[in-house]
């Protein structure tokens, strides 16, 4: 079952339910901001046209970060209005949602390319997202991108992240390249772009495990703003940093992609939650 909902200010989202999950996806940014209890969403996030939701899975596209002066940080897709192409109730445990963004006057003004961006959500026992970029124009273009997942956690001190051992990361805080030794524990601000990612990443939170499996992504960002940066972040309460960690499935930095005219590129992410036996 799904329902198109509209807040008083006109902000639109769809609510989707089947036997195994409940999800909410905003039309702005094709932004999933609820999937059972998997995703963190700031209690003070704005739901307003032109402002990215704080939490869920914002889409960073056609840029991850702030490489280009003309483009906003993390690109423009997260504040663009997507078209809801279709919702398919495959069976009572699986629903798919297909959304689309095409270039328009506003996007061409800051990024002069012709494209289609197709997002397909598979909403079942697990959550999977496919992000397909079609270059529908006559000029090649370059993208960096990320599915910027904010995971809800019991407390930052309880978590560890596996799967990135022996990988180098670019540390955005020191601007240095560092080798990751062992699993990741977070006890200070962390803002890292890992490269050469070739395994599933597992977020362990007490007895709970969240598995991330990607296709066509060789980079991942691990981010937690900790105490001081949280105070400066928009739409975040002071203690918010304790309750989430971002593990972003990406094509960032050297993992950028050039998409030739007429070609496509698909980035996929599957997220599965389990309890340790
Ligand atoms: C992360 C970046 O991906 O996103 C951080 O690595 C950044 O540096 C964070 O602070 C949040 O960005 P924004 O634009 O959503 O506030």
DSSP conformation letters of 136-169: -SSS-EEE-EEEEEEEE-S-GGGEEEES-TT-EE
State residue 103's pLDDT score: 98
* Inter-residue contact 63 to 74 (CB < 8 Å): yes
**Per-residue tokens: 205:** 């939170």
Cβ contacts of 273-277, under 8 Å, gap ≥ 24: 273/36, 273/38, 273/126, 273/208, 273/209, 273/210, 273/211, 274/208, 274/209, 274/211, 275/207, 275/208, 275/209, 276/207, 276/208, 276/209
Single out the residue of 29, 265, 248 nearest to residue 141, CA to CA.
Answer: 265
Question: Nearest C-alpha to atom 1 of ligand 1 is from which residue?
Answer: 223
CA of 223 to the centre of ligand 1 (A): 8
Q: pLDDT tens per residue, the chain (277 residues)?
A: 999 999 999 999 999 999 999 999 999 999 999 999 999 999 999 999 999 999 999 999 999 998 788 899 999 999 999 999 999 999 999 999 999 999 999 999 999 999 999 999 999 999 999 999 999 999 999 999 999 999 999 999 999 999 999 999 999 999 999 999 999 999 999 999 999 999 999 999 999 999 999 999 999 999 999 999 999 999 999 999 999 999 999 999 999 999 999 999 999 999 999 987 5
Half-sphere exposure of 125 (CA within 13 A, CB side): 3
Residue 23, both tokens: 């999800």
| Index of the ligand 1 atom closest to the CA of residue 74 | 14
Rounded distance from Cα 126 to ligand 1 centre (Å): 25
The strand pair at 159-162 and 168-171 is best described as: unpaired
For ligand 1, which residues put their CB under 6 angstroms from it? 52, 73-74, 148, 172, 191, 221, 223, 248
DSSP 8-state assignment for residue 40: -
Residue nearest to atom 16 of ligand 1 (CA): 233
Q: What is the dihedral of CA 46, 203, 171, 255, to 10 degrees?
A: -90
């Amino acid at each position: 079952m799904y329902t198109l909902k509209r807040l008083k200010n006109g902000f639109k989202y769809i609510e989707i339910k089947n036997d195994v999950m409940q999800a909410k996806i905003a039309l702005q940014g094709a932004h999933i901001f609820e999937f059972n209890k998997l995703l963190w969403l700031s209690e003070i996030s704005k739901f307003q046209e032109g402002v990215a939701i704080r939490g869920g899975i914002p889409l960073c596209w056609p840029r991850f970060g702030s490489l280009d002066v003309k483009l906003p940080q993390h690109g423009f897709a997260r504040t663009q209005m997507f078209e809801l192409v279709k919702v398919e109730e495959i069976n009572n445990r699986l629903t798919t949602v297909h959304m689309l963004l095409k270039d328009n006057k506003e996007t061409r003004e800051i990024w002069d390319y012709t494209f289609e961006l197709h997002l397909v959500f598979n909403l079942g026992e697990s959550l999977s997202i496919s992000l397909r970029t079609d270059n529908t124009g006559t000029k090649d273009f370059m993208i960096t991108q990320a599915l910027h997942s904010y995971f809800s956690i019991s407390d930052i001190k309880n978590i560890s992240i596996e799967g990135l051992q022996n990988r180098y990361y670019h540390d955005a805080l020191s601007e240095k390249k560092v080798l990751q030794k062992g699993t990741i524990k977070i006890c200070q601000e962390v803002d890292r772009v890992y490269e050469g990612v070739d395994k599933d990443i597992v977020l362990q939170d007490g007895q709970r495990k969240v598995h991330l499996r990607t296709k066509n992504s060789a980079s991942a960002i691990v981010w937690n703003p900790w105490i001081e940066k949280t105070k400066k972040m928009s739409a975040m309460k002071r203690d918010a940093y304790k309750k989430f960690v971002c593990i972003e499935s990406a094509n960032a930095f050297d993992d950028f992609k050039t998409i030739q005219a007429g070609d496509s590129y698909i980035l996929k992410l599957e997220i599965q939650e389990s309890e340790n036996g």
